[in-house]
Amino acid sequence: MSIPKGVRDNYTTMLAAAASGDLALLECKDAITGVPRYVICAVNTKEDEFLFVPFGHMESEMNPYDRYLPPE
C-alpha cells in the first residue's frame, strides 16, 4: 500500500508543528452530522489572527483498535 504524497506532506507538516509547539487539539462539530469531533490542528499566526489547519480527528466514539484494520 502506498501512502499518497499529499498525505505524507501533511504528516511532515504536522510533525514540524508539534516540534515547534504549534499543534492544537480543538473541539469542533462535524460539518455533516453535528457530532463533536476532537481535531488535531497546526496553528499558524498572521498578525493578530490564529489560523487552524486541520489534519484529522481523534477517535472518541469507538475504540480505535476496532475501527481500523492494519495493513496486510
Q: What is the pLDDT of residues 32-41, one digit of tens each?
A: 999 999 999 9
Query: If DSSP states are collapsed to H, E and C, what string results for 5-29?
Result: HHHHHHHHHHHHHHHCCCEEEEEEE
Q: What was the pLDDT predicted at 65?
A: 82
Burial of 41 (0-12, 13-18, 19+ CB in 10 A): buried
- Looking at per-residue confidence, does 61 or 21 come out higher? 21
Q: What is the pLDDT of residues 2-46, one digit of tens each?
A: 899 999 999 999 999 999 999 999 999 999 999 999 999 999 988
Whole-model pTM: value is 0.77
